Every structure is written in structure tokens, then in C-alpha cells.
Chains A and B, each alone.
Chain A
């Protein structure tokens, strides 16, 4: 177990360094930010001074080494546009993204698992097939178009919910959150629903497939034969056994929800990290792009790692570290 932990940690570090190299080289190949940052009327001296101040006059490998040295001590460079540390900028936007992703996940779980359960218990019934049809559509719909339709319907036609911004925020443990006030909650609802739809469809399919397999198992037949109530068989016996893969997928999907939040945040003008990334790409704010990617990559590696650990704790049949090493 400890060996596995160590090897996995080493691998993660290697991935992180490789990614930083790729991202750094890639991002620094695009455009010349000086053109955007310096007033076009500025003279050559001013341009040279700004270039030197931003460290852009030095050779690329030196810039990369400086970046790595800084990154090791938590400094990912300064935003060209805002003039503040890039990491600070991203972390200041992070609560908004996390809140959005978390709420989307809550919606997906709260609706997806019950619907999947129903569809799995009655796969050939009208309701079961209806739920599956819904999930196919939900799977097919591009996130951004769902966002547009939600805005069109709830914000423009009905005028029930606001379509952009975050609304009023309240501090919870020092983190600004929206869901504690009615105004904030109403701003949160549409983007969260938009982000949830894809995961909702995924959870329906997954739960349905798991339930269909589980109802055929002997332990379910035995529980029925014992005369247990229908509700108890479903709620305790089936649900408990199908939870392991579902929890895994929920964990793994959390990272992808944060990535897909880029789209949702752009549509609903939600002031999170995704919108920051798109803005930074458009403004060639390289340090912020690099810092965002480093944060996301770290987050992904951490999530994958944690899911593996939780999985081995939940399911005693899983032995970590045995099947790794290319043979899979």
C-alpha cells in the first residue's frame, strides 16, 4: 500500500513536470503579448523596458527555469493584464467555480440516481423507456446550446431567473458563496442546471445498467425469498451494492465538471476560473493561462488519486498496485 502510494506520487510528479513543460512551451509560442500590452504609440525604449520588466527578453529555457523555480515555491508568475500574482487571481475565482460544480453535481445525483433506479427496475416499461430517451437527448445536447435554451426560456421569455452574474454573495467560512441568499440562489440555479444535465444523463445510464445487473443476482433473489419488503430490497440490498461504481464515477466526473464549467461560465457570465481562462486566452495573458492549467492538472491528478484510494477502501476486493505497469 505504501509502496503503491510512493510510486503513484512519483508518477504524478512526473506528469506534472511534463505537462508544465508542454503547456509552457505551447502557450509561449502564441502571439506577442507586448503588442497588446504596450500602448501602440509608445516608443521603442518603452517597449524594450516593458519586455525586460516582464522577463520576455530572456531565452525560452531560462524563462522556463525561472517559472519552475517559482512554481516550486507556489509562485506561478504575475498576470500581464491585472498585475497581480496569477495563482492568487485563479484562487480568488476558484470558490465561484467550485460552488457551481458542486451544485451541478448535487443536482445530477439527486435526480439522476432515482431516475436511473426506476429505469433499471422497469427497463421495458413506458416510464423506463421515457427516462432512457431523456438521457439520450441529454447526452447529445451540447452544453452551450442547453445554456442558450435555458436563458431563452427562463430568463427572456418567462423572466423568472437572472441569466448572468453571481448575484449577492455571503461569506461562509471565509469563502464567498451564492446559495445562502435568495438572490444568489436564483443566479446559481440556471448555470448549475445547465452544467448538471450531461452528468445527470450519465448517472441515469450508469445507475440503470448497474441496477439491471444487480436485480439478477442471487442475493437479491434471496432477500426477496426471505420476504423482505420491496422497498428494503431496493433501498438496502441493491442500492448499497451498486454504490461503489457510482461513487467512483461521481468522484472522477467532478474534475470534468470543473472543465466543462468553462463553457457554462462563459454563457452565464459566471465570474469563475473558466471565464477567466477564456478571457486570458483572448488577451494573451500567458501567466494566467499557464497557472490555470497547472492548477487544473494538479486538481485532476489529486482527484484520480483520491478516487483510487477511496475505491480500495470501499471495495475490499480491489488490491492497489498489483495490476499497474502496462499489462492492463
Chain B
């Protein structure tokens, strides 16, 4: 990449004209201030999720730190012990802010992990379908077509009804729902790439098939995949929250944001809105931030919009 730069003392003006692909990508991404804001928020959310034990005022799952007498305090209300909770407490006297920090951790990790697994699975199937063609392609793509004609929530719901609760089961269900999107995207991209001259050149050089597929074609298929993956992380987080809310997702020992919201739903009718509302707000901020970044990524990485 650095080979593109002129070696003899590049002036500042030159540097803006001759850029690495990554540099150009960054500059184009930064053109939208909204996307930058989304990225900043996203980084903030990730830091909070990673550093939850350091940032949270209390460990919400250490029962010794909880006081049931502090239960259902409104945000900012002072407890008997003189403590104030910024976002109030839930029915067990758990600080909502700490609960949200820990919940973010669980929600984000489930979303990212399921996306990565689904990405790997979809990549493998999509590449195989595109490279081998013929009946292998037909079978894989028929399954993808059929699966994508059903809403993801329905499929996830059925799988969880069969498997039961648990983190691993939620991830399996999310992977099963998502892989088809990647398979379709990869296949479409790979079919286009296969026609290009560099692949022909690689074939003429008598490179091995796996080498052509993974070293030459795969990197060129990545841009659309990155866009789909970003959108899908948001989708996975939202889906996990929905399933947990319906009582079919995460177990009570792994309280994701969806489970926190579900827990507060019981108290919503009596006007104690904060138990549900703030975890929901955290969920919303995370998803909107990811979607803003994804929207801009789509524009930057779309070759059809290149000037």
C-alpha cells in the first residue's frame, strides 16, 4: 500500500491527492457528520460494554450489594440509606444504570458473536455455491431462497421453542437466521468477480483453486459483506432483545437488555416507567448508531456510487 506514495519528500498537497485505499475510505466515510456521530456513539457504547465492571456504580448481580428496601426507586430519588440512583432501581433494588452497563455487554457480545459465526458459515456456503455452480449451487440457493421468504423472527422463535433457553441456543438460532443473507451476498459478489480478468490471470498462472478463491476472489467480495454484516449486528441485537422479551431468549442468569425491559414491563402499568424505558433507550441508541455507520459504509463501499 505504501508503495503508492512518492518516496521523495511528498509535499502536503501531494499527500492529499495520492492516498492509500484505506485513507480514501476514511476520508469518504468522514464526509457524513451523522455517520461520524454514529461511530463516536458506537465506540462509546463498546467502551461502556467492555469496561462495565469498572464503570458501573455497583455489581448488579452481587446480591450482597443489593438492598431490597431500595426497590423501585425513581431516577434521582434518595434511598433510605442516603444513596441516589441516577436511573432508579428495579424491583430488587438493583441500580438500573449498572444493570444497563452489564446488559449491554451481554447484548453486544451475543449480537457480534452470532454475526461472526453466521458470516463464516454464509461465506463458506456462498463461495462453494458460486465456485462449483451446477446442482450444488441450485440446492444451496434454493434453501437460501426458501429460508429468506420467511421472516427471521418466526424462524428464530421456532428454533428456540425447540431448543429451549440458553446463551448458546440463542446464538445458534441467530446464526441459523442470518447465514442465508451472507450466503446470498457472497455468491452474488463472487459470480461477478469470477468473470474478471484478474481471476483469469491467476488461472493462467496455474495457481491452485483454493488459492484463487481465498486469496484473490475473497478479498474482493468483502465490501458488500462488511455492509451486510454491520446491518446484521444491529438486527441480531434487536432480535435477541425481542426473543428475550417474549421469554424465549436469554436465561434469567444472563440478563441482556431485552430481559431487563421484559422485567420492567410488569411495573409499567403502575407508572414505574424507568425499569423498562432506560434499557430500551440504551438498546435504541446502540442500534441507531450501528445503522448510521452501516448506511454510510454502504454509500462508501458501493462501487456504483463512485464518482
B291 touches A281 (CB 8 A): no
User: Which B residues touch A27, using CB under 8 A?
Assistant: 161-162
User: Which B residues touch A140, using CB under 8 A?
Assistant: 234, 238, 284, 287-288, 291
B151 within 8 A of A: yes
C-alpha gap A278/B162 in the complex (Å) = 13
Chain B contact residues (Cβ within 8 angstroms of A): what range? 35 or more
- Interface flags for B115-151 (1: CB within 8 Å of A; 0: not) read 0000000000000000000000110011000100111
C-alpha gap A136/B261 in the complex (Å) = 22
User: Which B residues touch A163, using CB under 8 A?
Assistant: 269
* Complex partner residue of B284 from A145, A260, A328, CB under 8 angstroms: A145
C-alpha gap A143/B283 in the complex (Å) = 12
C-alpha gap A157/B151 in the complex (Å) = 33
User: Which A residues touch B150, using CB under 8 A?
Assistant: 259, 297, 300
A148 touches B242 (CB 8 A): no
A244 within 8 A of B: no
User: Which B residues touch A282, using CB under 8 A?
Assistant: 247
A70 within 8 A of B: no
C-alpha gap A141/B287 in the complex (Å) = 8
A15 touches B146 (CB 8 A): yes
Contact of A145 with B291 at beta-carbon distance under 8 Å, contacts A26-B162, A326-B141 already known:
no
B149 touches A300 (CB 8 A): yes
B246 touches A263 (CB 8 A): yes
Within 8 A of B (CB), among A262-292: 262-263, 266-267, 277-278, 281-282, 289
B158 touches A26 (CB 8 A): yes
B242 touches A144 (CB 8 A): yes
B265 within 8 A of A: yes
The stretch of B82-90, B200-208, B271-279 in contact with A is B271-279
Of listed B162, B238, B248, B271, residue having the most chain A CB within 10 A:
B162
A125 within 8 A of B: no
Q: Which residue of A lies closest to B287 (CB)?
A: A140
- Interface flags for A231-264 (1: CB within 8 Å of B; 0: not) read 0000000000000000000000001100110110
A320, chain B: closest CB distance, angstroms? 16
B161, chain A: closest CB distance, angstroms? 4
B23 within 8 A of A: no
Give how many A residues have a beta carbon under 8 Å from the other chain's beta carbons.
Answer: 44
Q: Which residue of B lies closest to A26 (CB)?
A: B162
B154 within 8 A of A: yes
> Is chain A's interface secondary structure helix, strand, loop, or mixed overall?
helix
User: Which B residues touch A267, using CB under 8 A?
Assistant: 265
User: Which B residues touch A296, using CB under 8 A?
Assistant: 154
A142 touches B287 (CB 8 A): yes
- Interface flags for B231-259 (1: CB within 8 Å of A; 0: not) read 00010001001100111100000000010
B295 within 8 A of A: yes
B242 touches A263 (CB 8 A): yes
B264, chain A: closest CB distance, angstroms? 8
User: Which A residues touch B287, using CB under 8 A?
Assistant: 140-142
A37 within 8 A of B: no
Q: Which residue of B lies closest to A151 (CB)?
A: B268
A30 touches B234 (CB 8 A): no
A262, chain B: closest CB distance, angstroms? 7
B153 within 8 A of A: yes
User: Which A residues touch B186, using CB under 8 A?
Assistant: none
Given contacts A144-B242, A260-B153, 14 further A-B contacts (CB under 8 A): A15-B146, A26-B158, A27-B161, A136-B295, A142-B280, A145-B261, A148-B268, A256-B151, A266-B246, A277-B157, A278-B247, A281-B157, A326-B142, A328-B141
A: residues with CB less than 8 A from B are: 15, 23, 26-27, 29-30, 136-137, 139-145, 148-149, 151-152, 155-157, 163, 255-256, 259-260, 262-263, 266-267, 277-278, 281-282, 289, 293, 296-297, 300, 304, 325-326, 328
A-B contact pairs, 25 of them (CB 8 A): A139-B291, A140-B234, A140-B288, A141-B284, A142-B241, A142-B242, A142-B283, A142-B284, A145-B241, A145-B283, A148-B265, A148-B276, A151-B268, A152-B277, A163-B269, A259-B154, A260-B151, A263-B246, A281-B161, A289-B161, A293-B158, A300-B150, A304-B149, A325-B138, A326-B137
